[in-house]
Structure 1
């Protein structure tokens, strides 16, 4: 709460007390025979209104006592009832019933008692008393309505907060169920297929060596790729089944896996990736510049995945082309660039597929920049600029068409 808002109610109460003190003081000064006791009672009863919000019972007792003194000595009329009315309203609003009812009855009784003896116009006196009774009843009713309204608003806020919490719990549960479903589907489909590929490649390598034949490099690449695919699939399944584990890719500082014997994919495995690409028939050169150092886990993983996807795209879409991988460790960012000399035409940029979209999502999640487009001299380039600070979720800043 801002200071102005905190002090505003106190300032309003001060103005109310000052106005009431001025009115009652005018009555005291205008009544013959009034003395210092009457003025003190008027001022004290008015000052009691400063506490009607924070300490309603204190305001009620002090104000009623002072106004009883003033009423008994001067008979100032309905004006003396105002401090008592305000205090009754405050006390009923905070849930008190007996104290404000007694205060109202006592004040009305004293007021009626001091006005009856020797007073003319009984009907007028009864009318004034009836009017005061109506005011007190109205104050009590208004306070009760206000109290119920505040309780209703508080309950509505509580229910809204509970509903929001329930929605979040339901959303988390559904997300967890969906992750388990995806994990089951991946396990039942991809695990079986990759296992067959790995086993068959291993059998072929074994038979070739048993017969004394040279094992084709492509077959060795298939065997190694099958093992890597199985490893990474298991890591992904572990994350899907247990999103809270340290290896969750969605958690800061996480890795693709944290199970025993499962190493995360990062630039330390760039050499293996390049060798597999070469064994598959793709000429690849690698240039690393700058001081190599430990990278944030998500940045390291994103850089590896970008190179992996870029080399896969070169093999699939630029047959016979050569690729050049450049990794630059700058002071505040990591630059990863993959160029090929294929037949991509700047005048006809390719339609972005899932691979390029995945690259953009990874780079955007780290607050970096991505440029993926045909080169003017021919071929295609993928350039990612990744910050070397801890990953910050940011909107993508894209550097060219995909």
Structure 2
């Protein structure tokens, strides 16, 4: 099936470029008609190489078209137009290898356009030259627009990843700095307690040192896991995220209602990042290090992350930091809404609702 899908475009172009050859011209000899048909088929089948060798395939379609024109008359340059789009779509401003540089691609596109228009103009077929030149130009422009959008999307993804890594690096610095500061203070207190013979106070300080060390190790392990992640994630990766949180010392449960695979990529990635940030906040700030994650996939995607630890502070005590703002921005970017705060029992809860784009 995969081969048939890949063969559909080359075969279709071959047929179009074959049946359209010499349209409107006087009858040709059987020999020239047969040769023109074979050239049209060859031009179309050259598209099989469009992914592996786009420039070679482009050159082959142009040569095939010109030869077809000389033998049997003008034909629709559908194969050339497809390859102009493919080459234009691969245009990049940065990071191109020398053989695929922007200058090389621009030259190839211009050469293909001239290869279609010039022979028609020389043959006195001005109308066909204008029409087919416009056809190739539109195909090339469409490819360049797709490349431009792809480049912008890639740049935005890179910026988001860099911002995420910078945030995690700052949190890592804060975690290590705070933890090591506490350990240093308690170590000094233990030393002074031992010096005056207060062994009970020294033991208490050592316990505090142990607790601070475990807390630092737990948070560092979690943050290092985040740094090792790939760029894109979806809801299918949510069980792995929860597993990493458990290995980092968080007692977390996951409840799923619906098919995680039935969620669009944009909503899935936003939901994944919201859960990730919520678990990070529980790990860093919740006293009990316990959480519940509930996901419901229906007409919309609903998320709820609840801190099951001991209630601390009044229900109205809500402080919005960078993590909560980031979660809210993730939800808004996916067209949804997010609310966070303490429940009536004093537990911290994050609730998000994201659209699935269904009519």
Question: TM-score w.r.t. structure 1 length?
Answer: 0.44
Higher relative contact order (CA 8 A, sep 6+): 2
Asked which structure has the greater CA Rg, the reply is 1
